[in-house]
Structure 1
Amino acid sequence: MPATFSSSSSSSESSSLPSSRSTTPPSDIEQFCKELPAYQAAAHVFLPIASSARVLRSVFEKHASEDCLGVIFANSTASLLCAEFTSGAWTAMHLSIGNDLDVKYFLSTAFSNQGLFDTQPHALSTGLTSARHLLLISQASLRSIVSVSVADGNATLYILERPSFAFPPLASTLSFSHDGTVAQGNVPTLEEWERVWSAWDLVTLQMIPQEMLHQKPIDLRHKCLFYIGHIPTFLDMLLSKAIGGLPTEPKYFWNIFERGIDPHVDDPNHCHNHSEVPEKDEDWPTLDSIIVFRNNVRARLRKLYLDLQAGRRAFTRSIARTIVMCLEHESFHIETLLYMLMQRAGSGTLPPPGFTVPPWEVLAEQWNSIPLPSSPTVLVGPATLVLGHHDSEAEDGLPGVSENVKDHTFGWDNESPPRTVQVGAFKAEWRPVTNREFETFRNKQAKGVVDFPKSWVDEDGEVKVRTIYGPVPMAIAAHWPMLTSYDDLSAYAISKGGRLPTEAELRLFLDTYDVGHEGGANIGFRNWHCVPATTGLEAYDGKGSNGGVWEWTSTVFDAHEGLAPTKYFTGYSTDFFDSKHHVALGASYATVPRLGRRTLRNFYQHNYPYPWIGARVVYDV
């Protein structure tokens, strides 16, 4: 049902602001960001009552200028009618949409937030009020560029934009049901596929310039063009395995795009089985031919969904698992490709179009005002903990199980079966190691011992921190979690008399204190960069976010009792039971929300320095 609007008085629309959308990497990002009007909105609205996502989206579509709108949310029922936002330059408006009848809000095109961000540092939090606001913003497929406390803390102003893509909270993400009934599982709908494709296409086709297609942003991975061909090839191969049928033409793509590389860092010549790729640039398929292939493979998947809904094909565990596996594989590769591309940000990689470049200095002022925990550590455990869930691929074909799909949660082979473990008492740092803390460590205790981190860059003697928008000064990113290898962060922990946690210890800490995407954590492209951690504050019972990173554990990635290796993606886990890979838990700012599920286990080589993984120090008691 379309929304209808009315107002108690007429108001003129403000002129549009210059667009601050990024299209090319700035030569001087600091000066570029200083000049951005990103957090100056032409129009503002005040929503004094709890609104639905449909209301927020409708108001945004009506009043946004340059896809940007200032929205003020009341922080509590006691502040529902902030006088300064309901009179004077503010016009009362009414909206009717669906069941949300006669929603009243206030509009101003004269209100200026010019001084707010300069004079009122706003300590970001993951408290219930902030989480409620961010949840609503995500449900409306919008994104907050920056926020600030207003009306003596009774309300919060968010500068919102409509990004190129957005991932809603998991609670708002439906599971596919072939018969139209509500399902509680995690089989993606076509709508979820479209969101992932939007993200993948933006990264691969709008952030990689033509001249970078045949370049390797990092030496230990393939050139960029490989990944653009690998994703549809993987989907095509697994669809053929699940439902039969010939390869999508050209069939030789299966030979060169089947599987990428993950060589040993210590010996790049040692690598698992992988595709043989052309040696010369001119022997590779063209980008245009890969896009045609990609479109045909996507059409094949869409037809499968239509066949399932029409009853022309039975909806089995095998098909459901294949669909989940392929979507999550593509989601993982979005993040993998991005951490590769960040190595060239500012010198090749283009910033993400449709996402406003962050107002770094304003944000840094806010980040500097985030309070520290009253104590740096917390006592955790002892406790009995269950790791993993029941999802054995070996059972997919059993009678009575094969078509039991509707409410099942599918995962990767190493997530199953559930294992009960005992966790002893230990102390954990409330927050992961920060860039500033690691810089101090490297300049003193580890001088000449720990290599210069790949997440940093030295520009004329100044250490800067890499972002997908280009390097920023250490002063901007000082409180962000440090991104580096397990070995580096383990050395830091040892220097403090501690160690890195086991998988079970970290899982217990995260279960107790991490708020996740729906609690306002920096996951799912809320930002394209880390933010400071917020855990450890008494006001929120210690709960918060780690800033948007995976976290290393000391647990070596290996087999466990009952693990049934996947036959759909042969070698997914078993190829890396090599004593070199460690388990990582959590999620980063570029992790698709569904991959933040509790049982998912990521894994990387202990000395691999590129992925977005941090760590917290723990201590024996």
Structure 2
Amino acid sequence: MTDSATPTGSAPEGADPEALRQRALAALLTARERTALLTDSVDDQELTAQHSPLMSPLVWDLAHIGNQEELWLLRAVAGREAMRPEIDGLYDAFEHPRATRPSLPLLAPAEARTYAAEVRGRALDVLDGAALDGGGPLVRSGFAFGMIAQHEQQHDETMLITHQLRSGTAVLSAPVPPAATDAGGLPAEVLVPGGPFTMGTSTEPWALDNERPAHVRDVPGFFIDTTPVTCGAYQAFIEDGGYTERRWWEPGGWEMVREHELTAPLFWHRDAGGWLRRRFGVTEEVPANEPVLHVSWYEADAYARWAGRRLPTEAEWEKAARHDPASGRSRRYPWGDEDPSPELANLGQRHLRPAPAGAYPQGQSPCGARQLMGDVWEWTSSDFLPHPGFSPFPYREYSEVFFGPDHKVLRGGSFAVDPVACRGTFRNWDLPVRRQIFSGFRTARDL
């Protein structure tokens, strides 16, 4: 293992192991509260049902969360014997595709809850005694605990997607996000000057392997949209025949459109009064000023071509989000180094929808772009590839097995992402056909 893959550096709170311990404890407790909300809000029948072949039954995610916590915090960190070794294969995401998981002898809801709770109790004891200022790379700076908190929050986002896909009445609710009070005066695009910047990180202690190491990229100047593309702008693409003009589409995207007879983003349908959408069990008008959601990479790319623009590369996106020309350094977040707060970004399932385009002025980046963090995952034009000097840690299956041209990179997080699993260097990836995820985009153009 190289230093580029090993978590190093200090947490935002500093090197104090007790501060690190409290940070890890808070992250684990926050994740478990959200897991409980997402699984306690439906009955056992819905927990064990498969609401879409694209997703696991919710009860699989629940036990998988506990199993991964046991594997890493109890076995790998603490060296304890397995609690339930016979279930490891059932909850191995690589052994069983999502579509087949309902046929497995999964733990029943009550048993899954008991197992996850027992693991958590023991894991907190391990955290209480861990030497976070020393030891191996799994323990140092609380990396393994931060990794598990991120893993649980990632599955919480997956479970929220399942909630969106399920039919039936609404079981989740949340207040509306803040308005965009000055959006009317914003420019359509902002300039990101050319030159080098530092991409990735070698110091963020809970950064995952694909975010490492920090390295310099020289990016020519470009323009990028001030905000994500809105539903209203995307409707113009639809009305202009966007889904019927082959010239806008990559071959794979055109094949997808034809095979599935696509005419709009997922969950949209048209009635006599205009476009409607289904959102967590509620049917409502599509809000014109909200970032478009549930579009595939192919749809984002086709819109950009239609608009005479393109999707930004991943390096362009990160430079727009992090680079501070005044200091020449890269920030942790678009607004600076401080952790996210409700005034800065729409994160953490605080709201069940994106905020209107132009919201969160305090969260804008140095170039003037807004909502680069939270609201919607943003597709980039880039394939998911390793940073120069990449080395897998602590296991190949998190990132390395996905590298290549099959997966496209998404950046920035969505309203469904918790702050612990979202930062300026965080990288997400998915197949270009995926639409059920909380994905949108913004466009760019050359100087």
TM-score grouping bracket, smaller chain normalisation: 0.7 to 0.9
Task: Give the corresponding residue for 1:509.
Answer: 320
Label 1:348 to 1:237 Cα distance change in 2 as closer, same or farther (>3 A). Answer: farther
Task: Give the corresponding residue for 2:138.
Answer: 318
Native 8 Å contact 1:457 1:464 kept in 2: yes
Shift of 1:197: 0.8
Shift of 1:280: 6.3
2:67 counterpart letter in structure 1: T
Task: Give the corresponding residue for 1:257.
Answer: 91
CA distance in 2, matches of 1:277, 1:343: 14
Residue in structure 1 matching 2:438, options 612, 615, 621: 612
Native 8 Å contact 1:499 1:619 kept in 2: yes
Residue in structure 2 matching 1:285, options 87, 107, 110: 107
Task: Give the corresponding residue for 1:523.
Answer: 347
Task: Give the corresponding residue for 2:225.
Answer: 429
Task: Give the corresponding residue for 1:232.
Answer: 66
Native 8 Å contact 2:56 2:98 kept in 1: no
Unpaired runs of 5+ residues, structure 2, are 1-10, 246-256, 325-333
Shift of 1:409: 1.4
CA distance in 2, matches of 1:535, 1:542: 12
Native 8 Å contact 1:515 1:545 kept in 2: no
SS, match of residue 597 in structure 1: coil
- Structure 2 residue 382 is the aligned partner of structure 1 residue 572: no
Native 8 Å contact 2:321 2:369 kept in 1: no
Greater relative CO, 1 or 2 (CA 8 Å, sep 6+): 2
CA distance in 1, matches of 2:196, 2:102: 55
Aligned residue-pair number: 400
Task: Give the corresponding residue for 1:463.
Answer: 275
Shift of 1:343: 2.0
Task: Give the corresponding residue for 2:171.
Answer: 350
Native 8 Å contact 1:582 1:606 kept in 2: yes
CA distance in 2, matches of 1:458, 1:527: 23
- Give runs of aligned pairs for residues 123-134 of structure 1, distance below 5 A: none
Native 8 Å contact 1:379 1:427 kept in 2: yes
CA distance in 2, matches of 1:292, 1:444: 54
Native 8 Å contact 1:233 1:257 kept in 2: yes
- Structure 2 residue 390 is the aligned partner of structure 1 residue 563: yes
CA distance in 2, matches of 1:289, 1:219: 24
Shift of 1:284: 3.0
CA distance in 2, matches of 1:488, 1:531: 21
Label 1:537 to 1:228 Cα distance change in 2 as closer, same or farther (>3 A). Answer: closer
Task: Give the corresponding residue for 1:590.
Answer: 416
Shift of 1:274: 3.9
SS, match of residue 351 in structure 2: coil
2:306 counterpart letter in structure 1: S
TM-score by length of 1: 0.59
Residue in structure 2 matching 1:439, options 230, 235, 246: 235
Native 8 Å contact 1:255 1:275 kept in 2: no
Deviation per CA, 1:203-249, whole angstroms, max 9, x where unpaired? 1222x333322322332222222111110011111121233221123
Task: Give the corresponding residue for 2:358.
Answer: 534
CA distance in 2, matches of 1:535, 1:279: 40
Label 1:493 to 1:543 Cα distance change in 2 as closer, same or farther (>3 A). Answer: closer
CA distance in 2, matches of 1:607, 1:583: 13
- Structure 2 residue 291 is the aligned partner of structure 1 residue 481: yes
CA distance in 2, matches of 1:464, 1:452: 13
- Give runs of aligned pairs for residues 104-503 of structure 1, distance below 5 A: 177-178=16-17, 180=18, 182=19, 188-206=23-41, 208-239=42-73, 240-249=75-84, 251-259=85-93, 273-274=95-96, 283-308=105-130, 315-319=135-139, 320-344=142-166, 347-348=168-169, 350-352=171-173, 355=174, 358=176, 370-373=182-185, 375-390=187-202, 409-448=205-244, 450=257, 451-453=262-264, 455-458=266-269, 463-468=275-280, 470-474=282-286, 477-483=287-293, 484-503=295-314
Of all paired residues, the percent bearing the same amino acid is: 22
Shift of 1:415: 0.9
- Structure 2 residue 378 is the aligned partner of structure 1 residue 551: yes
Task: Give the corresponding residue for 2:254.
Answer: none
Shift of 1:282: 8.8
2:111 counterpart letter in structure 1: S
SS, match of residue 358 in structure 2: coil
Label 1:284 to 1:595 Cα distance change in 2 as closer, same or farther (>3 A). Answer: closer
Shift of 1:202: 0.5
The structure number with the bigger radius of gyration is 1
Unpaired runs of 5+ residues, structure 1, are 1-171, 260-271, 392-407
